Structure 1
Amino acid sequence: MANVVWHKKLQILLDLIRDDLDHPELPDLWDTIYRTDRFYGRLGVPVTERDLQCGGVCRDMGVEAPMHLRMRGGRREAVHERREDEERHTAPMSDEHKAYQERILRAAEEGGFSGGSEVRTRVGRSWIQTDTLVEGADGRRIGWEVQLSTIDQSGLRGVRARAAKAAKNGITPAWHTDRAAYAQRNDTHWTRSDHLPAYVIARTGDLRIVSGFRALEFWHCDTRSLYPCPHGVRRCGKAHATPKPRDVLFDDMVRQTAAGTIVPIQFRAGTTVHRYWVTSADHDRLENLHSNDTGLLHEREATPASGASRNRPTCQPAAAPSTVDAPPPQPDLPALPVQPPAPAIETAPAAAEQHAGRSRQPAHSTTGLPSELITLQQAADDAQLQLQHLHDHHERDLQRQVWRDAAAAVQDAVTHYARTKRLNRYEVEVRLRRLVRHTAR
């Protein structure tokens, strides 16, 4: 039996506990539906061909479970036709499932967030029931759904619909499992931990997520890259991103998804769309890459604590004084006029710009590029650099548009210059960026 019934023809959920079935705008609704169902029964219409289905656990799992109505002791009841549908309501929650719910709430509270288990959220005339709902920062709502190895495979047929319904109504779906078969699905953003007993899950020790979180590695498709071009060509010269599996602690995952520092993405590889969790920084860099896949991406500041640098040395030790005998004195020659020293480079503007993030070198004839191109490229790089230092979402959106406009201006100027000079556009673009960004170091 169930208290919530789905009416297929009317497309509404009926709450049998309420006198008006939770639809006060439809008077005498119960009498109408009950008489209709009894009339179908007298005619011998099968329950599967009537308009009533389970609107509770069965519907949440994507299972169509036909039902019929009856009155017992003055109480309204909706009865499942099949025994397996009825057993789905009475199946006890496993200890492991309870341990995960308790751990999610404890991790959220330690991070300063609130939450609840078995939360039912009203959405129009229906509901969204979430295993554990975490109320995060800036209005974020993370809906954790735990599916363990004790759940039958048929219970996962409605994952995509449930996740889409949650996302449509402001709940970020986060599905967790201990089965590799579930974690390989692409119907929602899955995470997976090893199969563990309840007492291990419940304790405060480290619980590691071994699948579902990725670190994005950004690289340039040139002759030095380690990865093949995803477009199937030899080298396209563009920038790409490759997801690399990374482990993350379960408690950190709960807290950082609530804080917004770990977010879901959809990553397309060929014709397949994969769903991963990544850091918000990698998410923003991936968006920037999608907006301009010809740009060189700002690399992460990951300086090793020890070991040799990959860069070539920028200075050489002074040569030791030689012990070779001095050459014999040359005969007196007429003295050459002393040449005036080269004018010193102004250091004050360079120091000021370096304090702002990078130093500039004025364009001159030896670069072979007009100063207008260099100025436009410098402006685009500055706009991208400012974007990386912003944390407010509204400010980031505004600055991202500024950067896109600046990058588009560079692309148009490079195209015009290369066409006018009959040069290879790609080579001009690479030389321009190399000149500006090497000068800025």
Structure 2
Amino acid sequence: MANVVWHKKLRILLDLTRDDLDHPDYPGLWDLIYATDRFYGRRGVPVSERDLQCGGVCRDMGVDAPMHLRMRGGRREAVHERREDEERHTAPMSDEHKAYQERILRAAEEGGFSGDSEVRTRIGRTWIQTDTLVEGADGRRIGWEVQLSTIDESGLRGVRARAAKAAKNGITPAWHTDRAAYAQRNDTHWTRSDNLPAHVIARNGDLRIVSGFRVLDFWHCDTHALYPCPHGIRRCGKAHATPKPRDVLFDDMVRQTAAGTIVPIHFRAGTKVHRYWVTSADRDRLDDLNSNDTRLPPERDTAPATGASRNRPTCQPATHPLTVHAPQDLPYIPALPLQQPAPAIETAPPALVEHPGHSSRAADNTTGLPSDLITLQKAADDAHRKLQQLHDHDERAQQRQVWRQAAQAAQAAVTYYARTKRLNRHEVEARLRQLVRNSGRSDAQTAASSGA
């Protein structure tokens, strides 16, 4: 049984503990709804096809639980159709869940903030049920929802709708779990800690959040970058941000979200949007980057999200370091040589400087690319091919230097040509490599036929 019922057609919540069902503007509402439900019962209409559902715990979990009405001893009652829905109301809260609620309140109080558990906030004609609500600085309200290993993953529905409803009404949703399956969902901002017993969660040791918090690494997409270009091209020359996982103490997370120094963001990676928690300084730098992605945003002074603590940890670290063995059957792939910074438009590479009586900008008849580009790329490929044929260490070191110089000259020429012609450098380089590769194959076939 439940005291709150959701009417699907009227789209309102009915509080059976109130005489007017908490809708004083609709006199006689109970008589109308009860008579309608009794009529459906006499006609044999299944409970699942009527208009009433559980509006309490079941609705908060995103479960559609049909109900019917009855009168017992002059008291109004709403009865679940299924036993498992009824048991959802009577199941006691786990000790781990209670320990998390107590720890959130204790951490908030230590930071100078107030809070309460099982807070029911009235929003218009509906409510928002929050596990633990922390009142932060500047009117900030953080609604902590703790979801542990108490129900099957398929039963956890309606998270996105509940989080959106809370955010729409001024509550920042913060969902915490100990299950990796929940933490990998992208329906709200999840954080995860290790699966720990209640007495470990409740004590004052350092409880760490191992998933959900990120540190943004800002970098420039040039030849010296450590990350691949997120746009899928070789190097676009723009500034980017890459989120890196970072552990944070659970108590610090509670206090800093209330203070506003840790905030939620929506990070776009390609066509997918991820939800992370980051520092407010990283959030501001990301906003600067999105407004002008041609240069890196300025760094901002900020206190670290985590720091050393004198408390003993709540979980033990691994005793043996993780050893990663590289596979032995992978072929050797030579690394591309480091490129020099692209020259200015006004300065041309030496290979493309025109001399009197000679035009080095002569174009190939089939591709339209300058013949000097083709010559430089062929020289770089020949140097690399020769490097692969050598086995002596000293000879390979000398030839590797020759290959790097030839490759740098070819790439600098490509950059200069693409800039002067206002072309996409990646497309020019791809077309040049394909041309040289095809010409090399045709030369090899001609040499084989002549030898035969």
TM-score computed with the length of structure 1 as normaliser: 0.68
* Alpha-carbon distance between aligned partners in 2 of 1:161 and 1:17, rounded to the nearest angstrom: 26
* Correspondence 1:324-363 to 2 at 5 A: none
Which residue matches 2:327?
Answer: none
Which residue matches 2:234?
Answer: 234
2:218 paired with 1:218:
yes
Letter in 1 for 2:78: A
Q: CA deviation at 1:156?
A: 1.2
2:266 paired with 1:266:
yes
1:35-68 C-alpha deviation (Å, 9 max, x unpaired) = 1100110111111111100000111111111000
Which residue matches 2:199?
Answer: 199
* Alpha-carbon distance between aligned partners in 2 of 1:152 and 1:135, rounded to the nearest angstrom: 31
* Alpha-carbon distance between aligned partners in 2 of 1:19 and 1:70, rounded to the nearest angstrom: 15
Q: CA deviation at 1:155?
A: 3.2
1:369-420 C-alpha deviation (Å, 9 max, x unpaired) = xxxxxxxxxxxxxxxxxxxxxxxxxxxxxxxxxxxxxxxxxxxxxxxxxxxx
Q: CA deviation at 1:297?
A: 2.5
- The 3 A distance-change label for structure 1 pair 29 and 239 is same
- The 3 A distance-change label for structure 1 pair 301 and 26 is closer
Q: CA deviation at 1:272?
A: 1.6
1:222-277 C-alpha deviation (Å, 9 max, x unpaired) = 00101000000110000000000000000000000000000000111122211000
TM-score computed with the length of structure 2 as normaliser: 0.67
Which residue matches 1:88?
Answer: 88
* Alpha-carbon distance between aligned partners in 2 of 1:129 and 1:179, rounded to the nearest angstrom: 22
Unaligned runs of 5+ in 2: 303-345, 347-419, 426-452
* Alpha-carbon distance between aligned partners in 1 of 2:235 and 2:298, rounded to the nearest angstrom: 20
* Alpha-carbon distance between aligned partners in 2 of 1:253 and 1:161, rounded to the nearest angstrom: 24
1:157-194 C-alpha deviation (Å, 9 max, x unpaired) = 11111111111111000000001111011000000000
Which residue matches 1:102?
Answer: 102
Which residue matches 1:349?
Answer: none
* Alpha-carbon distance between aligned partners in 1 of 2:43 and 2:49, rounded to the nearest angstrom: 12
* Alpha-carbon distance between aligned partners in 2 of 1:284 and 1:193, rounded to the nearest angstrom: 27
* Correspondence 1:64-79 to 2 at 5 A: 64-79=64-79
Which residue matches 1:294?
Answer: 294
- The 3 A distance-change label for structure 1 pair 300 and 13 is closer
- The 3 A distance-change label for structure 1 pair 114 and 301 is closer
Identity percentage over the alignment? 87
Q: CA deviation at 1:426?
A: 12
Q: Secondary structure at the match of 2:224?
A: coil
* Alpha-carbon distance between aligned partners in 2 of 1:100 and 1:61, rounded to the nearest angstrom: 19
Contact 2:140 2:171 in 1 (8 A): yes
Contact 2:144 2:175 in 1 (8 A): yes
Contact 2:218 2:296 in 1 (8 A): no
* Alpha-carbon distance between aligned partners in 2 of 1:163 and 1:115, rounded to the nearest angstrom: 19
Q: Secondary structure at the match of 2:154?
A: helix
Which residue matches 1:139?
Answer: 139
Q: CA deviation at 1:107?
A: 0.3
Which residue matches 1:306?
Answer: none
Which residue matches 2:343?
Answer: none
Q: CA deviation at 1:298?
A: 2.1
Letter in 2 for 1:147: Q
* Alpha-carbon distance between aligned partners in 2 of 1:260 and 1:425, rounded to the nearest angstrom: 45
* Alpha-carbon distance between aligned partners in 1 of 2:267 and 2:29, rounded to the nearest angstrom: 47
Q: CA deviation at 1:296?
A: 2.7
1:344-393 C-alpha deviation (Å, 9 max, x unpaired) = xxxxxxxxxxxxxxxxxxxxxxxx9xxxxxxxxxxxxxxxxxxxxxxxxx
Contact 2:37 2:69 in 1 (8 A): yes
Q: Secondary structure at the match of 2:227?
A: coil
Which residue matches 1:58?
Answer: 58
1:116-144 C-alpha deviation (Å, 9 max, x unpaired) = 00000001101000000000001111000
* Alpha-carbon distance between aligned partners in 1 of 2:58 and 2:114, rounded to the nearest angstrom: 28
* Alpha-carbon distance between aligned partners in 1 of 2:241 and 2:76, rounded to the nearest angstrom: 58
Contact 2:281 2:300 in 1 (8 A): no
Runs of 4+ in 1 over 6 A off after TM superposition: 422-427
Q: Is the deviation greater in 154-163 or in 200-209?
A: 154-163
Alignment RMSD (CA, Å): 1.9
* Alpha-carbon distance between aligned partners in 1 of 2:424 and 2:170, rounded to the nearest angstrom: 43
1:301-345 C-alpha deviation (Å, 9 max, x unpaired) = 79xxxxxxxxxxxxxxxxxxxxxxxxxxxxxxxxxxxxxxxxxxx
Which residue matches 1:31?
Answer: 31
Contact 2:63 2:157 in 1 (8 A): yes
Q: Secondary structure at the match of 2:281?
A: helix
- The 3 A distance-change label for structure 1 pair 300 and 223 is farther
* Alpha-carbon distance between aligned partners in 2 of 1:220 and 1:268, rounded to the nearest angstrom: 17
Letter in 2 for 1:60: D
Q: Secondary structure at the match of 2:230?
A: coil
Which residue matches 1:42?
Answer: 42
Letter in 2 for 1:188: T
* Alpha-carbon distance between aligned partners in 2 of 1:150 and 1:27, rounded to the nearest angstrom: 41
* Correspondence 1:147-186 to 2 at 5 A: 147-186=147-186
* Alpha-carbon distance between aligned partners in 2 of 1:152 and 1:295, rounded to the nearest angstrom: 47
Contact 2:220 2:295 in 1 (8 A): no
Which residue matches 1:9?
Answer: 9
* Alpha-carbon distance between aligned partners in 2 of 1:297 and 1:143, rounded to the nearest angstrom: 31
Which residue matches 2:125?
Answer: 125
* Alpha-carbon distance between aligned partners in 1 of 2:11 and 2:300, rounded to the nearest angstrom: 51
Q: CA deviation at 1:425?
A: 11
* Alpha-carbon distance between aligned partners in 1 of 2:77 and 2:39, rounded to the nearest angstrom: 17
* Alpha-carbon distance between aligned partners in 2 of 1:424 and 1:126, rounded to the nearest angstrom: 59
Q: CA deviation at 1:424?
A: 7.1
Count of matched residue positions in the alignment of Structure 1 and Structure 2: 310
Q: CA deviation at 1:202?
A: 0.3
* Alpha-carbon distance between aligned partners in 1 of 2:257 and 2:209, rounded to the nearest angstrom: 14
* Alpha-carbon distance between aligned partners in 1 of 2:205 and 2:125, rounded to the nearest angstrom: 42
* Alpha-carbon distance between aligned partners in 1 of 2:54 and 2:162, rounded to the nearest angstrom: 16
Q: CA deviation at 1:152?
A: 2.2
